[in-house]
């Protein structure tokens, strides 16, 4: 996979059962009906010059460069807007056409700065290419009016708009509309005066633009250009890889000059993103080479000691020695490991192998514990597999889209663009969310129902929806009879039919008017293909697993599983959260979600790994913290996961880490957790290693190394060093060998190889003898568990009650420009959009407390206190406040509590009872944090400067 140039067919591919044969320049071509003459030509290897057309956008027909002659037609039709017809005879190259094209190009060039030699995109400019193609040799109009003096807009940190180079082809405007769905750009003015404008002639940074870069990619000239291209120059080689941010898993072409990234270009053949991206994946990769990267292994006895820089061998020997010493003193179970959803499948697999085989226990857990563990549990119980059911593309066949507790526009932006495209085509929308997010109303779409529930009442809502479906006869009886367990269905039906589950009875609990709930239920059950997409607003609750099962119940009851356009789709947060779960990161499961107590499965691993495995499930992350408090858990290896910032009840986490005798952190930065560590192992970024990520669609995609590991070893290599130092040898020459082992031991991965991923672009598991090329849609003929199982989902109010002392509910979420704990995005220009976490508060609640926009607001919960600036907005309902958690100094998790999902311990981040009051200074925790942070940075710097 190494190609800079992707062929551009000029207009999008058409799907049609009808094939049409025509003749182009004497060549017979057969294409699907609806294909343009331009695309048919390109498919036959005949390239018609073009400027305003590109195959990611519908044809526009403005530049008149692509004209052709067609037998029996008058004039010169534009090939991009002319559909093929059977028997058509087309000529693309005649003297007359050449004349016209040269004339058109002459006009464009006469109003274009002729600075090709010094232009940043010299050699990568379509205008330049087309001028060459049509044989333009001179420009006769030299002194006319022009736009050469127009001022550049440099406001966006990542790209420049130079209007002097604009040919007004409209590709950027259409990209913003069709691809991204933001509608930020227009063509301002008429005729000669017309120019591209962001909003009302604003700077890009002041407009609606979300910096996705689709316009930059679509621009055929240097008008919209990445600043890195201007600075570094045009790339010389490239490799296809996968974004290291969210669970959409966009494929990118990393364009390189030597080992320096010039730009990341979304790969048009990427099956999750089809050539689109968001601001994070396309532009926010500078963190990978940021000066804060830690590149040397370090050790220290106590966290108050300065770090001591050592060799890799010394660091792993020290860590291994400490782990063995602790085990000798406190027992085999006194140490454990935490895997990361940001690392590759292969690296994650090795961590759990290290824990099970070298530590000799099952004390391994993953950050999925705190996000989607209820998805794993709930979907396994009902459908039989711990994963979403669809491809992202499936949404294009959905008639009704229900979004529950998710804001894909912020957290899964590329999928949100696809979803919005479907909504613009007319799909109906139900949003279940306590806040009014961008998913409720946006450019050319609006939710048909917004169920603005009280945080913590999801299960009451799902039961009420089910009640309507059952009692109004909207069940899909034939599907249920054929595909589901009759007894569990009968019990569920009896349960949801009870009057206490009616929308009317539940209205007081949920805060959602009964008629809205009834309308939404009817629409979901009878509006055609209905698909549910959900996020952490479902899982991060005391009843997270119950809600996931409630969603699966609803889909089964209405027959909305097992085909395109329907399904149950968890929107996974981090790039490899699906993969980290698949790879056996949970303490009770071996790779492929097989229980550790299953002696047959264990025997397979024992034979392969050459060790006896402990049949007892190990500790989950919160149990590790509790055991650390008790003194029975003293050593922890944390791979690429910042538990201090991301886990709830920060003080409890910190106290647990302070009780450790050996905390080993492997990360690319000295993150908040590393500040409590005794051994620091430098991590490698996604650009520095080979491997695979698995996205929210179960799609396994390649991560390709484009530069050497900055610290000397990729994470998978470092893991081998640790294994070897612990006396459990691991020798893999390449991550493909690790994948071969995963495939050999995991039925759903049996057919996965790097060769296959390279050949197909990506593969969705299960990929095995039954599905050699993977499985885009699950549960087609039958559920993975055989018959679908309905589960009783009784609503139980959370223990986290509002009281007079804590009268508001705090809920948390993400925003577009930042990512998770912000370790990556905070080290990029994305801070220009969001440089601090803010507390959103309703105007009534703010007024009652005397809080004005921008004031410091103190937030107190039963766990702790913090201070944030207030943003006053009616996006939140009265009684609810909201914040993000991207900055460590915000201390959002200082106030979240230890409450968690009953089945999986996923923390109840979404419901914390708080009081909010105006304050004038940071909280005591924040002051302590600042002090401790300063001290730790000095200890690290002291090492750097050799002090």
Residue 92 is a binding residue for ligand FES (CB under 6 A) = no
The enclosing H or E element of 915 equals strand 912-918
Q: Interior CA angle at 189 toward 186 and 195, to 5°?
A: 60
Among 23, 32, 64, 737, binds ligand FES (CB under 6 A): 64
Per-residue interface string for the shown chain with ligand FES, residues 802-841, x marking contact by CB under 6 A: ----------------------------------------
Between 419 and 939, name the residue whose CB sits nearer to ligand SF4.
419
CB of 281 to ligand FES, least distance (A): 29
Where are the extended beta strands (E) located within 310-437? 335-339, 364-366, 400-404, 428-432
- Nearest to 79, CA basis, from 106, 103, 52: 52
Residue 78 is a binding residue for ligand FES (CB under 6 A) = yes
Q: Distance between CA 544 and CA 538 in Å, rounded? A: 6
Both tokens of 271, joined, read 């099956």
- What are the two backbone dihedrals, phi and then psi, of residue 493, each rounded to the nearest 5 degrees? -60, -45
CB of 412 to ligand SF4, least distance (A): 6
- What are the two backbone dihedrals, phi and then psi, of residue 430, each rounded to the nearest 5 degrees? -120, 125
**Strand 856-861 to strand 808-813: parallel, antiparallel, or no bridges (unpaired)?**
unpaired
Between 52 and 410, name the residue whose CB sits nearer to ligand FES.
52
CB of 85 to ligand FES, least distance (A): 18
Residue 105 is a binding residue for ligand FES (CB under 6 A) = no
Where are the extended beta strands (E) located within 249-399? 251-257, 260-266, 298-299, 308-309, 335-339, 364-366
CB of 212 to ligand FES, least distance (A): 23
Both tokens of 329, joined, read 């003193």
End-to-end CA, the chain = 46
| DSSP reduced 3-state for 400 | strand
Q: What is the DSSP string of 228-283?
A: HHHHH-S-SEEEEEE-SSBTT--EEEEEEETTEEEEEEE-TT-TTTTT---HHHHH
Residue 134 is a binding residue for ligand FES (CB under 6 A) = no
Between 171 and 886, name the residue whose CB sits nearer to ligand SF4.
171
Q: Residue 61: which of ligand SF4, ligand FES, none does it interact with, CB under 5 to 8 A by kind?
A: ligand FES
**Strand 298-299 to strand 589-590: parallel, antiparallel, or no bridges (unpaired)?**
unpaired
Between 171 and 420, name the residue whose CB sits nearer to ligand SF4.
171
Between 62 and 639, name the residue whose CB sits nearer to ligand FES.
62
| DSSP reduced 3-state for 474 | coil
Residue 65 is a binding residue for ligand FES (CB under 6 A) = yes
Q: Residue 53: which of ligand SF4, ligand FES, none does it interact with, CB under 5 to 8 A by kind?
A: ligand FES
Q: Distance between CA 756 and CA 699 in Å, rounded? A: 13
Residue number closest to ligand SF4, CB atom: 281
| Strand ranges of the sheet holding 69-70, from the earlier edge strand across to the other edge | 27-32, 19-24, 89-91, 69-70
The enclosing H or E element of 317 equals helix 312-330
CB of 277 to ligand FES, least distance (A): 24
Between 427 and 571, name the residue whose CB sits nearer to ligand SF4.
571
| DSSP reduced 3-state for 859 | strand
Between 171 and 372, name the residue whose CB sits nearer to ligand SF4.
171
Q: Is 508 exposed, middle or buried (0-12, 13-18, 19+ CB in 10 A)?
A: exposed
Residue 219 is a binding residue for ligand FES (CB under 6 A) = no
Between 461 and 815, name the residue whose CB sits nearer to ligand SF4.
815
Half-sphere exposure at residue 581, Cβ-oriented, CA atoms within 13 angstroms: 29
Q: Residue 84: which of ligand FES, ligand SF4, none does it interact with, CB under 5 to 8 A by kind?
A: none
Q: Distance between CA 534 and CA 402 in Å, rounded? A: 8
List residues near ligand SF4 by CB under 6 A: 166-172, 175-176, 180, 182, 184-185, 196, 209-215, 218-221, 223-224, 243, 245-246, 248-250, 273, 277-278, 280-281, 412-414
Among 37, 44, 66, 624, binds ligand FES (CB under 6 A): 66
Q: Residue 66: which of ligand SF4, ligand FES, none does it interact with, CB under 5 to 8 A by kind?
A: ligand FES
**DSSP label at 766?**
P
CB of 187 to ligand FES, least distance (A): 15
Both tokens of 782, joined, read 């039958």
Contact 884, 813 (CB under 8 A): yes
Residue 80 is a binding residue for ligand FES (CB under 6 A) = yes
Q: Residue 78: which of ligand SF4, ligand FES, none does it interact with, CB under 5 to 8 A by kind?
A: ligand FES
Q: Which of residues 384-423 bind ligand FES (CB under 6 A)?
A: none
Between 105 and 278, name the residue whose CB sits nearer to ligand FES.
105
Between 63 and 939, name the residue whose CB sits nearer to ligand FES.
63
Q: Which of residues 4-63 bind ligand FES (CB under 6 A)?
A: 50-53, 61-63
Q: Could you identify the residue written with the tokens 């402990």?
A: 614
- Nearest to 914, CA basis, from 455, 451, 453, 458: 455
CB of 736 to ligand SF4, least distance (A): 23
CB of 380 to ligand FES, least distance (A): 51
Q: Residue 182: which of ligand SF4, ligand FES, none does it interact with, CB under 5 to 8 A by kind?
A: ligand SF4
Between 261 and 315, name the residue whose CB sits nearer to ligand SF4.
261
Q: Residue 476: which of ligand FES, ligand SF4, none does it interact with, CB under 5 to 8 A by kind?
A: none
Q: Using CB under 6 A as the criterion, which residues of the chain lie in contact with ligand FES when the complex forms?
A: 50-53, 61-66, 78, 80
């Amino acid at each position: 996979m190494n190609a800079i140039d992707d062929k551009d067919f000029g207009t999008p591919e058409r799907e049609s059962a009808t094939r049409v044969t025509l003749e182009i320049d004497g060549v017979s071509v057969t294409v699907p009906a609806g294909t343009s003459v331009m695309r048919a030509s390109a498919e036959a290897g005949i390239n018609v010059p073009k400027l305003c057309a590109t195959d990611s956008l519908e044809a526009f027909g403005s530049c008149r460069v692509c004209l052709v002659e067609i037998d029996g037609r008058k004039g010169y039709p534009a090939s991009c807007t002319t559909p093929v017809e059977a028997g058509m005879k087309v000529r693309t190259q005649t003297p007359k056409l050449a004349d016209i094209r040269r004339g058109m190009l002459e006009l464009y060039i006469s109003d274009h700065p002729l600075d090709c030699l010094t232009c940043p995109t010299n050699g990568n400019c379509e205008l330049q290419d087309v001028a060459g193609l049509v044989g333009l040799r001179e420009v006769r109009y030299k002194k006319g009016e022009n736009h050469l003096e127009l001022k550049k807009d440099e406001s966006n940190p990542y790209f420049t708009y130079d209007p002097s180079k604009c040919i007004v082809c409209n590709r950027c405007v259409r990209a913003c509309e069709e691809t991204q769905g933001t509608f930020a750009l227009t063509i301002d003015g008429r005729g000669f005066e017309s120019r591209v404008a962001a909003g009302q002639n604003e700077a890009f940074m002041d407009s609606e633009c979300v910096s996705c870069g689709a316009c930059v990619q679509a621009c055929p000239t240097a008008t919209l250009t990445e600043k890195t291209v201007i600075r570094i120059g045009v790339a010389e080689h490239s490799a296809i890889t996968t974004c290291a941010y969210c669970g959409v898993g966009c494929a990118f072409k990393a364009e390189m000059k030597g080992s320096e990234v010039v730009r990341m270009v979304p790969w048009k053949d990427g099956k999750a993103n089809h050539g689109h991206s968001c601001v994070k994946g396309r532009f926010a990769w500078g963190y990978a080479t940021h000066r804060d990267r830690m590149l040397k292994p370090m050790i220290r006895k106590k966290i108050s000691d300065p770090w001591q820089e050592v060799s890799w061998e010394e660091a792993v020997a020290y860590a291994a020695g400490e782990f063995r010493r602790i085990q000798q003193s406190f027992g085999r179970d006194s140490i454990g490991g935490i895997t990361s959803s940001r690392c590759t499948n292969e690296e994650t697999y090795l961590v759990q192998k290290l824990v099970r085989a070298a530590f000799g226990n099952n004390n391994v857990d993953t950050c999925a514990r705190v996000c989607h563990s209820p998805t794993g549990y709930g979907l396994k119980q009902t459908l039989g597999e711990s994963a979403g059911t669809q491809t992202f593309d499936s949404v294009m066949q959905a008639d009704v889209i229900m979004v529950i507790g998710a804001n894909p526009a912020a957290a899964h932006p590329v999928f949100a663009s696809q979803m919005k495209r479907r909504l613009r085509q007319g799909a109906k929308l139900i949003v279940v969310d306590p806040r009014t997010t961008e998913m409720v109303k946006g450019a050319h779409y609006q939710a048909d129902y917004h169920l603005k529930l009280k945080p913590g009442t999801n299960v009451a809502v799902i039961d009420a929806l089910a009640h309507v479906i059952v009692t109004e006869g909207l069940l899909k009886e034939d599907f249920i009879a054929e595909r589901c367990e009759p007894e569990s269905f009968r019990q569920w039906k009896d349960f949801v039919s009870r009057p206490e589950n009616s929308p009317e009875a539940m209205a007081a609990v949920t805060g959602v008017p009964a008629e809205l709930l009834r309308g939404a239920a009817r629409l979901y059950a009878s509006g055609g293909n209905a698909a549910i997409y959900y996020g952490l607003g479902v899982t991060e609750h005391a009843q997270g697993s119950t809600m996931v099962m409630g969603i699966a119940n609803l889909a089964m009851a209405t027959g909305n599983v097992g085909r395109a356009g329907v399904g149950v789709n968890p929107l996974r947060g981090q790039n490899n959260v699906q993969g980290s779960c698949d790879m056996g990161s949970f303490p009770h499961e071996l790779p492929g979600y097989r229980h550790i107590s299953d002696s047959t499965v264990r025997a397979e691993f024992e034979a392969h790994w050459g060790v006896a495995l402990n049949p007892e499930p190990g500790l989950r992350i919160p149990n590790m913290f509790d055991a650390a408090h008790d003194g029975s858990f003293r050593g922890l290896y944390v791979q690429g996961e910042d538990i201090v910032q991301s886990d709830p009840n920060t003080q409890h986490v910190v106290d647990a880490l302070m009780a450790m005798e050996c905390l080993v952190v492997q990360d690319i930065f000295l993150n908040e957790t590393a500040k409590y560590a005794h051994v620091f192992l430098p991590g490698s970024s996604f650009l520095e290693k080979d491997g695979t990520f698995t996205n929210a669609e179960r799609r396994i995609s390649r991560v390709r190394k484009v530069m050497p590991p900055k610290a000397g070893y990729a994470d998978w290599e470092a893991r081998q060093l640790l294994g070897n130092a612990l006396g459990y040898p691991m020798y893999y020459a390449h991550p493909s060998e690790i994948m071969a082992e995963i495939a050999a031991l995991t039925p759903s991965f049996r057919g996965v190889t790097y060769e296959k991923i390279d050949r197909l672009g990506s593969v969705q598991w299960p990929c095995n003898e039954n599905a050699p090329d993977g499985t885009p849609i699950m549960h087609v003929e039958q559920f993975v568990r055989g018959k679908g199982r309905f589960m009783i989902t009784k609503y139980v109010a959370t223990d986290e009650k509002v009281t007079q002392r804590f009268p508001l509910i705090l809920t948390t979420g993400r925003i577009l420009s930042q990512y998770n704990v912000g370790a990556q995005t905070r080290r990029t220009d994305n801070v220009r959009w969001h440089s601090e976490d803010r507390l959103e508060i309703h105007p009534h609640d703010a007024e009652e407390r005397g809080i004005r926009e921008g004031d410091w607001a103190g937030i107190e919960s039963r766990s702790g206190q913090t201070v944030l600036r207030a943003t006053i907005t009616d996006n939140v309902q009265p009684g609810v406040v909201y914040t993000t958690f991207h900055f460590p100094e915000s201390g959002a998790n200082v106030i979240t509590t230890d409450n968690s999902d009953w089945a999986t311990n996923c923390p109840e981040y979404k419901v914390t009872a708080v009081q909010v009051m105006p304050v004038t200074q940071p909280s005591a925790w924040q002051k302590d944090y600042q002090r401790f942070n300063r001290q730790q940075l000095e200890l690290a710097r002291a090492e750097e400067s050799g002090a």
